[in-house]
Amino acid sequence: MIVHDLTGKVAVITGGGRGFGKAFGMALAERGARVVQLDLDEAAAKAAAAEIGHGAEAVMVDVADEEGVHAAMADIADRHGGIDILINNAGIHSAEANEFIGKLGTARTRQMFEVNVWGVVYCTLGARPFMTGREGASIVNIASMAAYGAQKAYGVSKLAVRGLTVSFANELAPEGIRVNAIAPGLIFTDTIRAELPQPVVDHVMAMQIIQREGEERDIVEAMLWLVSPGASFVAGETLRVSGGATLQV
């Protein structure tokens, strides 16, 4: 397990009310960071912050609301003196969204892109002025293995996240901000177990070269490395954590 002292660092996690977001907040807080869990579901964010402890905070924010995002980032920075870590985790990822765009429909596709793509843009630009020049400033976006060989709407949205990661890495590097992404494979959270039919699980597991179930800790450890000094020479990369399911030459 990566152990890196984050005392004095301020970490903002979107989609922080449950799943990866809550797990990220827990890991960062345990290492000394002051974490702020952002979520559209205020009750979930507050419950997560209470479970995390260590002074964790909850803020209700819709990442698809540009003005709301910028106001929240400014308020967090004002109260804590800046932002050091941003985890762009919020996203629409239900099995329903894993359809071709024509079948999903333009309204639902637009809604997903507002969260999965524009949410990354709004949060990154909102946090940028408060991260610039801070030692070790790091942004981690959450993509997906679906971004590789993307055909359906969800995968296309996560392909866009990979592109944004490269673009923002180039744009923000002169300001001392590293930007990277993680592309999780099939990670067996409670939500995934409830949503995915067994044939889909079997298909993905058959693609993996590491034959065990992916766990939240696998993604948490990847995040901790990307925000650590050990990854100080890493920028614009999407780290695939998929048991080898997305191997390509």
- pLDDT confidence of 1, banded at 50, 70, 90? low
Residue 124: name the closest of 90, 149, 158 by CA: 90
Tell me whether residue 2 is in a domain: no
Is residue 181, in this structure, part of any structural domain at all?
yes
Question: How wide is the angle at C-alpha 171 spanned by C-alphas 110 and 177, nearest 5°?
Answer: 105
Asked whether residue 210 is assigned to any structural domain, the reply reads no
Residue 81 lies in a domain: yes
Determine, yes or no, domain membership for 117.
yes
Examine residue 249 and state whether it is found in any structural domain, yes or no: no
For residue 124, give the CATH number of its domain: 3.40.50.720
Domain count, the chain: 1
What DSSP character marks residue 189?
A: -
Q: What is the pLDDT of residue 149?
A: 83
The domain of 89 spans 10-187+216-240
Band of pLDDT at residue 192, cut at 50, 70 and 90: confident
Amino acid 248: pLDDT: 64
190 Cβ contact list (under 8 Å, min separation 6): none
Within the chain, residue ranges assigned H as helices are 19-30, 42-52, 66-80, 101-104, 106-113, 119-131, 153-172, 190-195, 198-207, 216-226
Confirm whether 154 is a catalytic residue: yes
Residue 4 lies in a domain: no
For residue 245, what pLDDT band results from cuts at 50, 70 and 90? confident
CB-CB contact of 242 with 145 (8 Å): yes
Domain assignment of residue 209, yes or no: no
Q: What is the pLDDT of residues 102-118, one digit of tens each?
A: 999 999 999 999 999 99
Among the listed residues 154, 161, 240, 243, the single catalytic one is 154
